[in-house]
Structure 1
Amino acid sequence: MTTRAVPPADTAFFPLDEQLQLPPTALLPHAHQSLVRLGTHLPFGQAAKEVQALLGIRISEASVRRCTLQAGQIAEAIQSEQAHPEAARPRFPLPAAPVVEQMAMGSDGGMVPLRGGIWGEVKMAVFAQVNPSTAKTEQHSYFARLADASIFADLASAEVTRRGIAQARQVCAIQDGAEWLQGFVDGHRHDAVRILDFAHAAHYLGQVAEQGQQQGYHVPARWLNVVLHELKHAGPERIMRHLQWWKRARPLPAVTDALRYFGKRLAQMNYPQFQAQGWPIGSGMVESANKVVMQARLKGAGMHWEPGNVNPMLALRGEMCNERWEESWQYQQRWRNDHHHGQRQQRSLQRRARCAQELRALILHICLRLPSSTFAPQPSSRKGRTEGQKRWGRQTFSHRMLQDGSAKK
């Protein structure tokens, strides 16, 4: 009696799984989605406890981590595909961008702890609609990645397109003046009104006051408030002349740094004009984005992340904070179905190739076991006189000649 080998469990397929959209886990769809949502909000160990408390499902911390990061990898792949819509009909299309009068965009970087005691810079972009009557931003959306500046700018193009930055009539870019931020603005909206974050400018002036006091110079208690009021309501001209006087009378490294930094960004410090146009002058939306999207989940006590796990978690955090979780989850289901369908097709092709190879081997095996005479060429049956007729001189007659009676007797 012969036994057949049973295929591995991961190669089996039950058609009802696809029809019911069951995840590749032991959980039902609602439990699976709830687990991933909790893993996106909370540390994995705490999320496992919440799953047991809310759903009555006992699951390990490792399982929560695995399911959450797998969902994050799919979300990251979908967002990357949306940033490069090469197909005429993309699988995950972006909705039509609205036309808005004024939009604001901001970018910044934040550090996240990685394994090995090192830190990585997570780049953050935030987009918002501007209310010109109050100069405040609303309807914020975020995009974050652990990547260098060029790759980040490329991947963020999907969110830029979705928020209609190119279609907006006016756009301002509020930032701290770093060089890579200028390149980000150039690539997506080169004509944007560029505004140096007022808090960043105040930081340089605060360092001047602090170093002056440390060196024993007389710095009035209200000096910083006065110069900041002057900068906000009158512009940077008088502040620059005042810093030049400081450089001559009280040479300090902070004064030199402020002059060099402000000198390259005077056009971005025209705060009275920006406020008159209804633009915000502070990058509070970027600072809050770093806290809400990245720090709230990735900078907990004792956390150290593998570099490959940062972007999947940031992809999930972005969808959660952008209030697009349901849309993202539907796209993830479609991605899983397409991926499983492609795997089944690949396994089918592999089985066909394997069967063809086994058939060829079987035929070769049979041929080698047969005697060589089996494959010897057989004499061909040719028409005409046989060997006996040739030997005895008999003559052959055709059927027509016999009927005509013309054959010799």
Structure 2
Amino acid sequence: MLCLGDSLRHDDPAMQPFLAAIGQAQSLSALVIAAWTLAQSISVQIVESVLAERAQYPTIWPNCPQCGKRLHSKGLVKREVATLVGMIRWRRRVGRCPDGCAIGQIAPFDATLGVTPHQRASLELQALGCAFAVFVPFATAAHFVSWCSGVSVSSWAVWQWVQVAGTEAMKRLESQLEALETGVEPEVEPMAPELADVPLALSGDGVMVPLRPHGGRPEGKIQWREVKVGVLARLRSYRNRRDKVVTRLAQRRLVAVLGEIDEFKVRFWYEALRQGIRRAKTVVWLSDGGRGYWGLYDEFLRGYGQGILDFYHAAQNLWKGAAAWLDGRTKQARQWFGCARHWLRHGHLDSVLGDLSEALEVETLPGETRKTLEKVYAYLVHHQDHLDYATYKDQGLPLGSGMVESACKWLIQQRFKGVGMRWSAGGFNHLLHLRLAWVNGTFGALFEPIETGNGALDTRPQIASPN
């Protein structure tokens, strides 16, 4: 440290305050913060030094896109971009058309760096802001970004970064779905060898979100719309310290759509193909009684695995029948429900249907009670192929759809249903796709620079200033 400190003092006296702060720090926390501040300052100097050197390289000027004449240099012009280590400033050559065509200033060096003409924040800083916004409100995310980088960042800038990244995520998904429509199936996502033979569990459910009735304008009554959520995961079992077999979700992937069930079906099927549904030895679909979700099973999944009706949802319908038939306040209703629930759980569906059938044969049965019992009876008959809970339990399969209910809480409720939150449909979708990219492991790919044909780096359009 003494040698490094002497070198820094000799080379740059401006570093003395940072070195003094390190020397005066008493606690470990104060020492780390002082060192971090020094490291940021050194990083800025290193980057600016490299940029200054590279800016002196000969510039290959392109032709004017309008008249075709070679651009002429107009000298060095300042440029600054907010980055993870602070504000970076450099000077680079800019060119204009010799005939004065309205093309603005062209800076080939910026294109080589992957910096667009109006970009004010670097790609890694935007990625950090979007990552924070995935979990916390935009104002809090902006504060975190400023805290980490030392650059003042506004919540509006973070919001705009999310819109750009969310749009990119949506475009990529649309491209993948278009390829699927033409018969091009996606590649199966790589997985750990130990997951290849474990069951693949699929589930779907819906959750309501508050939306603004007039887009970005705050006035008007809240409109509640359903977000359809799907989860796909491998059911990995192991023994815990108490020698009890425990099942955990591995390689969990989520699908969510603010839209119609048909959109959800296509996106869910695409993800099912990526998770190797055609290769999986055991596939199970778990859901409650929602028609749209069971329509997904009938249309896409029936030929690959077993459907299981959520046991607790089935029991809830049994209680509706008991309450209508025997009055839910009576001991007789609770006793019958307990017996019926036990029969259903242990594979005696016929006993439950027999009791309901006998009840429906009573001529003095009130009209509303009869209507409720008929619905419960039809519900159980419709799902009779999905109610063999004793067999499912013996096979180590789950009986409830808790995996998707948990996904709804994490993916939607924890971020989108805070106190006073209301969303425009566009703003909701952009952030939703970023949250999906995060949990599905594709978040980083949204911020990777793309190599162009001439060796330069091309990035997505930047539309916001950090301030």
State if a TM-score over 0.5 links the two structures. yes
Pairing 1:181–2:299 present: no
Pairing 1:105–2:202 present: yes
TM-score (norm: length of structure 2): 0.63
Contact 1:141 1:321 survives alignment (8 Å): yes
Q: CA deviation at 1:146?
A: 1.0
> Structure 1 343/167 Cα, relative in aligned 2: closer, same or farther at 3 Å?
closer
Per-residue CA deviations over 1:340-398 (Å, capped at 9, x if unaligned) read 96999xxxxxxxxxxxxxxxxxxxxxxxxxxxxxxxxxxxxxxxxxxxxxxxxxxxxxx
Give the one of 344, 349, 358 matched to 1:236: 349
Pairing 1:128–2:233 present: yes
- Structure with bigger gyration radius: 1
Pairing 1:14–2:111 present: no
- After superposition, the CA RMSD in angstroms is 3.5
Give the one of 295, 300, 312 matched to 1:199: 312
Contact 1:166 1:189 survives alignment (8 Å): no
> Structure 1 35/186 Cα, relative in aligned 2: closer, same or farther at 3 Å?
same
Q: CA deviation at 1:94?
A: 6.4
1:116-265 correspondence to structure 2 within 5 Å: 116=213, 117-131=222-236, 134=245, 136-139=247-250, 140-191=252-303, 192-211=305-324, 217-219=330-332, 221-248=334-361, 251=366, 252=369, 253-265=371-383
The residue type equivalent to 1:240 in the other structure is L
Cα distance between partner residues in 2 of 1:343 and 1:7: 23
Cα distance between partner residues in 2 of 1:235 and 1:18: 70
Secondary structure of 2:227's partner? strand
Cα distance between partner residues in 2 of 1:188 and 1:114: 31
Cα distance between partner residues in 1 of 2:269 and 2:133: 27
Per-residue CA deviations over 1:161-218 (Å, capped at 9, x if unaligned) read 2211122122111111322223322443332201101111121123334446757654
1:16-95 correspondence to structure 2 within 5 Å: 16-22=109-115, 25-85=119-179, 95=189
Q: CA deviation at 1:112?
A: 1.2
Instruction: Find the counterpart in structure 1 of residue 68 from structure 2.
Output: none
Give the one of 411, 417, 441 matched to 1:299: 417
> Structure 1 30/216 Cα, relative in aligned 2: closer, same or farther at 3 Å?
closer
The residue type equivalent to 2:259 in the other structure is A
Cα distance between partner residues in 1 of 2:401 and 2:309: 9
Cα distance between partner residues in 2 of 1:135 and 1:228: 24
Larger helix share, 1 or 2: 1
Larger strand share, 1 or 2: 2
Contact 2:227 2:256 survives alignment (8 Å): yes
> Structure 1 302/336 Cα, relative in aligned 2: closer, same or farther at 3 Å?
farther
Secondary structure of 2:179's partner? coil
Instruction: Find the counterpart in structure 2 of residue 406 from structure 1.
Output: none
Cα distance between partner residues in 2 of 1:306 and 1:127: 28
The total of aligned residue pairs comes to 335
- Larger mean Cα displacement after TM superposition, 252-261 or 111-120: 252-261
Cα distance between partner residues in 1 of 2:187 and 2:106: 29
> Structure 1 342/305 Cα, relative in aligned 2: closer, same or farther at 3 Å?
closer
Q: CA deviation at 1:35?
A: 0.7
Contact 1:166 1:188 survives alignment (8 Å): no
5+ long unaligned stretches in structure 2: 1-97, 214-221, 239-244, 462-467
The residue type equivalent to 1:176 in the other structure is D
5+ long unaligned stretches in structure 1: 345-409
> Structure 1 258/220 Cα, relative in aligned 2: closer, same or farther at 3 Å?
closer
Cα distance between partner residues in 2 of 1:87 and 1:212: 49
